[in-house]
A and B are shown apart, each in its own frame.
Chain A
């Protein structure tokens, strides 16, 4: 299932993981601008020299890097500009590497922009020039050693935080979602424009695809990935996890609690879940399996038995099956009932009481069938099939040759085990580097055409 989720994803902060993390090592790698603003600036000798008022940005390749801080000195009230390199820590107070009298006069270069002047409170306009919302807060995160602007907060919680009301109503605040728009959705800043422009249309702003969240995750540090994943709804988290590349998946699950992993796996496609479990240590995998819902765990375990790069390892156990005496209207009823949760509903497999594959009905056959007929009469009996031990290449060749969307996996005794879908097969055979080479207008195309 690949339902679209809101772009203004519900990123809870400070969520459980954030708190846990902050408590464990005292660092706070993701923070909102409003939480930094007004922080004390402390020099090497522990003297408070001023309060943070602003940050400057240097446009980078993907993300905007924070290049300097601006603070109001507490002696003369003048604005002082310092490069990020002279700051040793921003956890708690902002600590400088130098003593008070060593602070050099700094100034912004022409390309640098101030957060309060160019981003905060500015109007966000979509690709069609329609107003969407204003920037209420800015989300910063440590990405590869530098502090970067990763997203803008457009939610009500951002407003409360700016009003300084977040402390008053922690309990209430935790329940409210943050509405975050990742920076990757925003066009490069142009100070001469009077607003911030989105790359997408307002109508699709509620369509941040899990694959896009996955792309963002891949760019972040592992801690930030977990933080964001933790804050997604269970279902979105699972869908996002499916889209993350396997190496990143492996790093991520290593640092996650078995409980959390189990929750995510339950919501993933069984075949993807099996792959993910296959990458974990044996101890952890069995621990996770024990924590999972029994039914789900069983399916996943069966899939895990198949060797890598076999049709069995690639197949999913989610498909639509009906008995041969099922009438055409009943098949439609079943499709409507379970079609929401199953990826591929274009083939209906007809099984005997012993789960033996008897035939297949395509959606086309079904639509054209006489409502008085039953599954046994409509189905095609000649079904191209593979064994669980067949190679991925074999399954892929069949899909390609016959233009199938999926091919059933059936054991020696004719018992139906699952299906290999074309998209899973495609993932398997396209070289990794080719996948990264997307057309320049890929994101837009996908939205326009609804390619999932």
Chain B
């Protein structure tokens, strides 16, 4: 039985008709794309967008459009490689480029992801402090919680929890909507890029775009698509999963920038962190909006504190050929779970150590991530264009042009971010 959901709307027949059966398949494959894209808005991402909105108002909203495109181009290639080859990105890199690149990437990714995981625990500590909970309580509890979910769950239960976490990002949208946005004004701000040559503004553009794509995302997305076992025939639905994920993520980013722009920027307050932003919202936007903002930060940090170590563990095990995956029991994939455990333990511990050099750790992880990204993107393009691996699913010429352009622009912006991070990191 075919039930045309949109058929009756009759919009000149241009809207693709979706049947119930297709909807069911879509809901079945949905997950990896949405989860990966959402984790892009982690503690670091939220901080960057909050500062962008708080310091530059609406003038950076336009960047979210190219960001969405770039995110989609890169993520789609990973998902496609995962579905067609049935292997993770680290698997493919090891098998096609050998030990050297694998080990270099592996070392870099372990350090960078450890740094980012630490940043997520810092986000947990900061957001829970808004709720009046000491970090010495919140961080250990969060670490144990995040560990238990992954160690005790299987792929499907964990994916459901992650999808739930993805849906909690709606708090940012609600938080923004409580401010009654002027849609007409926002729309015009979004489609007219306002480019200023002010160095602070350019620095922020580099920051916003540069944090969009990090190496861990590619590895995590492709590994989970593989673990989920999406078939080639279902690929068009996974593509939608990726697409929907990218759009949702950037809508969330949009509302974070908007919320901070409408309140903090309007009052000319300077902020340094996402916690500052949430605290500033209390008098400016009302406590509901502020609580939602803080809760969003907690959720995002918790979520990413689980995904980043997972992505690292997937990479290590694929690169070395050890068994990995959420469906395995602890001792069936010992290296996978031990690395996961270790990253969480170290990440959480660093936050609890008084006077830990947090800033240095963040700068280091940003520098490594930024330096690895061009390498990862180039590998991806070489792999996806390999007829032997991808068969008829290689990039089309047009897609390749967009993909190479994205790779080059993202690489330049990321390396610029590395440079600024190094300058400001050593300057302080």
Contact = CB atoms under 8 A, between A and B. Distances in A.
Interface in A121-166: 121-124, 130-136, 154, 159, 162-163
Contact of B321 (A132, A162, A194): A132
B244 to A, nearest CB: 31
B323 interface: yes
B322 A133 contact: yes
Contacts of A124: 321
20 contacts: A121-B95, A123-B91, A123-B321, A124-B321, A130-B323, A131-B317, A131-B321, A131-B322, A131-B324, A132-B321, A133-B321, A133-B322, A134-B319, A134-B320, A135-B321, A159-B103, A162-B98, A162-B99, A163-B103, A194-B87
B105 to A, nearest CB: 13
Given A121-B95, A122-B95, A123-B91, A162 B100 contact: yes
B99 A159 contact: yes
Which range holds the interface residue count of chain B?
10 to 19
Interface string A93-133: 00000000000000000000000000011111000001111
B412 to A, nearest CB: 29
B86 interface: yes
A223 B91 CA distance: 37
Nearest to A116: B98
A124 B98 CA distance: 15
A121 B319 CA distance: 9
Nearest to B321: A134
B383 to A, nearest CB: 14
Contacts of B99: 121, 136, 159, 162-163
Contacts of A163: 99-100, 103
Interface of B: 86-87, 91, 94-95, 98-100, 103, 317, 319-324, 332
Given A159-B99, A159-B103, A163-B100, A134 B323 contact: no
Contacts of A131: 317, 321-324
Contacts of B98: 120-121, 162
Contacts of A130: 323, 332
A135 B317 CA distance: 13
A162 B97 CA distance: 12
A122 B95 CA distance: 6
* Dominant SS among interface residues on chain B: helix
Contact of B94 (A132, A134, A202): A134
A184 B322 CA distance: 21
A134 B323 CA distance: 10
B365 to A, nearest CB: 24
A131 B336 CA distance: 12
A154 B86 CA distance: 23
Nearest to B85: A194
Nearest to B96: A121
A124 B322 CA distance: 9
Nearest to A195: B321
7 cross-chain pairs, A with B, having the tightest CB-CB distances, nearest first: A134-B321, A162-B99, A131-B323, A133-B321, A123-B321, A121-B95, A121-B94
A265 B86 CA distance: 52
Nearest to B94: A121
A154 B103 CA distance: 15
Nearest to B100: A163
Of A132, A135, A154, A163, chain B has the most CB atoms within 10 Å of the CB of A163
A136 B317 CA distance: 14
A159 B324 CA distance: 20
Nearest to A137: B99
A280 to B, nearest CB: 45
A159 B322 CA distance: 14
Contacts of A202: 323
A120 B100 CA distance: 13
A226 to B, nearest CB: 30
A225 B420 CA distance: 60
Of B91, B98, B321, chain A has the most CB atoms within 10 Å of the CB of B321
Contacts of B323: 130-132, 202
Nearest to B324: A131
Interface string A154-196: 1000010011000000000000000000000000000000100
Nearest to A120: B98
A135 B99 CA distance: 10
A120 B321 CA distance: 12
Of B103, B319, B320, chain A has the most CB atoms within 10 Å of the CB of B320
A130 B336 CA distance: 14
A160 to B, nearest CB: 9
Contacts of B100: 162-163
A202 B322 CA distance: 11
Of B87, B98, B99, B103, chain A has the most CB atoms within 10 Å of the CB of B99
Contacts of B95: 121-123
A295 B194 CA distance: 92
Contacts of B322: 131-133
